[in-house]
Structure 1
Amino acid sequence: MRLYILTLFYFSANSILNVIIPLRGESLGATNTTIGLIMGAYLFTTMFFRPWAGQMIQKHGPIKVLRIILLINGLALILYTFTELTGYFAARMLQGVSTAFFSMALQIGIIDALPEKDRSQGISLYSLFSYIPGILGPLLALGLWQSGDMTGFTVVMVVIAIGTGCFGFTVKMNNGEKRSEPPKAAGGSMIFRSFGQLIHNPYLFRCSVLMLIASIVFGAVTTFIPLYAAELEQGSAGIYLMLQAVTVVLSRFVLRKRIPSDGKWHASFMMLNMLLLTSAALCVSLAVHYGAAIFYCGALLMGIAQALIYPSLTTYLTFVLPEVNRNILIGLFIAMADLGVSLGGVIMGPMADLMSYSSMYLLCAFMAASLIALAYRKEPGRWHKQVPS
């Protein structure tokens, strides 16, 4: 429970920054492309550090790594309080580094600690606590922004940085001491060889493609909803993000036992998830024509899809990936999720500049729809476990 509470504290800053940064960028005259680059820098950096994080945590244990990255995270949050766009970009990268190690430490610990039948529930609860701040964070961010005084924002960032650090330094984990050395094959060269498994391992390939495209949609929502909502009559970014976060939290709690945890590919279940994602993006796109009601309906559908897709794919991979480098390969999979969220800002920003927010979200709906056939495809008999060479 202390680890879950630490997760809540750690991700509380992002629920505020995801609203403040786009609004602040627009007020400074930044284009959607620039805003997308700044927002995307966070998880783009995280993506590169995920595989290394998995290896370092396995070698040194989570506690030592956790304390170092909490200091880095605190530095990043304080950097937001006295800099502008360039400083925001640097702070996002620092956050990306710390998040790579933080999330890997907690998720690997959950996977190692729980019996197989409970893995999906453990991962879902971790994700649930990471989304709880999104319930009130966006509304707080809008309140801070509309006050016209950034002093309140400074105070909140400093309090979160200090509070997260102090609480994190008191947390204890089982097996916190230095672990036994990984096999020789698990050295740095194994990390680079493991990148090939993204293509050659059919389990990892399919899950990574699904997660990458889905995350692009999630990233586009996170980055540009604060700006798109201003174009809608009676549309509120705070209400949308709050509804989405509440839906994610409730869905992950209520539906956690429905997420498969048997190592089998449930084609109909995954197809339903992609249909939800497609419908959500379509609702957001059409909101400019049909009003706030369909906009908020998109928030509910997006929340359900986000609650189910990531833990379902992650749990499935914990069963089918070879144990010798499972942590590294799961790190690569999570890196694909990070890359997708990053690309949701980096790629969809120029699309919004060239077209409109509504057209950009329609493109997201088409991308999500393209995944339905891949999700529904049953596993051929030739898809067997592959041990890396």
Structure 2
Amino acid sequence: MRKEKIFTRDFWLIASVNLLVMTTYYSLMVTTAKFTTDQFHTSTSIAGLVIGITVIGILIARFSSGYLTQHFTTKKLLMTGTILLVPAMILYHFTTSLAILMAVRLLHGLAIGLISTVTNTAVVLLFPVERRGEGISYFSLSTVLGTAVGPFLGLKLMQTVGFSTLFNVEIGFAIAALVIATLINAEKIRFKKVQHNEPLTLAHFIEIKAMPIALLMFVVGLGYAAIQAYLSFYAGQLDLATYASYFFLAYAFAALLSRPFTGRLLDAVGAKAVVVPTLLINAVGLAGVAWTHSGWGLLVSAFLIGLGFGNFQSVAQSIVAKKVPVKRLSQATATFFIFFDLSLGIGPFLLGLIEPAVGYSNLYLLTAIMVLACAIGYWLVSHFSKQETN
């Protein structure tokens, strides 16, 4: 029997929007701290707060999007997000005070949160049910590329041509995302609306069935949060700063190679056969970061984390999509990403409280142990349940 297609016109359009938006997000994530300290002569902690403001905006948008998709068309929400993104990028040129910069970062976060929740929800509607795991794995590669291209491009532009040119490039990406969003077929990504006279409850925003895997995502994500926040400092201590700049490229390369296969495996044999190995590989990669003393060791660890965490992220999202009916898909996606964003947003702060006492090496080892415990816990729960659970 002929399989229904995954790679449709609207798939490529939505993936392109997601790639452009994620590139703006991650390129400015790695450069905003430097911009803040250079422009306003602030401390590192204040620069970290400026970065974190974006996460607050993202969380507000995530929490609201589940409700909004039931009352407004998905296309309108996507257009709203991309329209907000353009002035957010332009306003970086006019950040003459710390307060203005924080307001711009908040607006940027609102746009990112709305767009990414809508794209990750809408694209699932394009996939046949029996191929959703595979489809989500392919789509999530656009995010992986953003996490690799964004930091690399942002740092290169900052170091070679300066912040003004960097902001102009971001404006170009935002305009391109807006133009591409207008081409998406609204009917292909439309949800059935609920009755507007229903009383407003928490269920309009959060999907309880997504909570177990979302909580697992929060704990597992702490390891990657430590990588994002502290790798440059740790690599500097080891005299491996040059290799650290290529860490995320190695991570993305591993995820790009493996995600299509893990998506098919998830659809074919179920979650346990994919979740447990990806968590174990991730734990080994984090332990490798903790114990490495060479550049190649750091890059091999990056490759393992790409195979492990890079695949677990998309697999976990696929599990959420499979566990809920289509009418609850937006709330489930929002719930999943709320906890993922919380992990990446407050994770560095929580881990930063521990780091002075244990050091970076032991901090990464601690996150490896946490991920290993998650793998064992997931295996026990799924093994002793009558049916595979999330």
Place the TM-score, normalised by the shorter chain, in its bin.
0.7 to 0.9
Equivalent residues in 2 for 1:77-88, closer than 5 Å:
77-83=89-95, 86-88=99-101
- Kindly indicate whether the alpha-carbon contact (under 8 Å) linking 1:283 and 1:295 is maintained by their aligned counterparts in 2: yes
Q: Determine the structure 1 residue equivalent to 2:8.
A: none
1:162 to 171, 175, 181: 175
Gaps of 5+ in 1: none
* Deviation readout 1:177-236 (Å, 9 max, x if unpaired): 7x54314696531436847x3xxx5xx343122101112222222233344333332433
Gaps of 5+ in 2: 1-11
Equivalent residues in 2 for 1:69-218, closer than 5 Å:
69-83=81-95, 86-147=99-160, 149-175=162-188, 180-183=192-195, 188-191=200-203, 194=206, 197=208, 201=209, 204-218=210-224
Between the aligned partners of 1:338 and 1:192, the Cα distance in structure 2 is 20
One-letter amino acid of the counterpart of residue 282, structure 2: L
* Deviation readout 1:350-381 (Å, 9 max, x if unpaired): 44456543343233223222212222124355
Structure-1-length-normalised TM-score = 0.83
CA shift in 2, pair 1:137/1:102, >3 Å: closer
Between the aligned partners of 1:85 and 1:356, the Cα distance in structure 2 is 31
Q: Determine the structure 1 residue equivalent to 2:264.
A: 257
Between the aligned partners of 1:270 and 1:113, the Cα distance in structure 2 is 24
Q: Give the match's secondary structure for 1:372.
A: helix
Identity of aligned residues (%): 18
- Kindly indicate whether the alpha-carbon contact (under 8 Å) linking 2:279 and 2:374 is maintained by their aligned counterparts in 1: yes
CA shift in 2, pair 1:186/1:256, >3 Å: farther
Q: Determine the structure 1 residue equivalent to 2:252.
A: 245
CA shift in 2, pair 1:382/1:244, >3 Å: closer
- Kindly indicate whether the alpha-carbon contact (under 8 Å) linking 2:206 and 2:334 is maintained by their aligned counterparts in 1: no
Answer yes or no: is 1:368 the counterpart of 2:371. Answer: yes
Q: Give the match's secondary structure for 1:182.
A: coil
Between the aligned partners of 2:197 and 2:328, the Cα distance in structure 1 is 9
- Kindly indicate whether the alpha-carbon contact (under 8 Å) linking 1:286 and 1:358 is maintained by their aligned counterparts in 2: yes
Deviation at 1:295, TM superposition (A): 1.4
CA shift in 2, pair 1:230/1:55, >3 Å: same
- Kindly indicate whether the alpha-carbon contact (under 8 Å) linking 2:126 and 2:189 is maintained by their aligned counterparts in 1: no
Q: Please give the root-mean-square deviation of Cα atoms over the aligned residues, in Å.
A: 3.1
Between the aligned partners of 1:326 and 1:169, the Cα distance in structure 2 is 23
Equivalent residues in 2 for 1:256-275, closer than 5 Å:
256-258=263-265, 260-261=266-267, 264-266=270-272, 268-275=273-280
CA shift in 2, pair 1:321/1:165, >3 Å: closer
1:223 to 229, 235, 242: 229
Q: Determine the structure 2 residue equivalent to 1:12.
A: 23
Between the aligned partners of 1:285 and 1:122, the Cα distance in structure 2 is 34
Q: Determine the structure 2 residue equivalent to 1:280.
A: 285
Answer yes or no: is 1:340 the counterpart of 2:343. Answer: yes
Between the aligned partners of 1:136 and 1:227, the Cα distance in structure 2 is 21
* Deviation readout 1:272-295 (Å, 9 max, x if unpaired): 2221221222222233xx122221
Between the aligned partners of 2:285 and 2:144, the Cα distance in structure 1 is 18
Answer yes or no: is 1:331 the counterpart of 2:334. Answer: yes
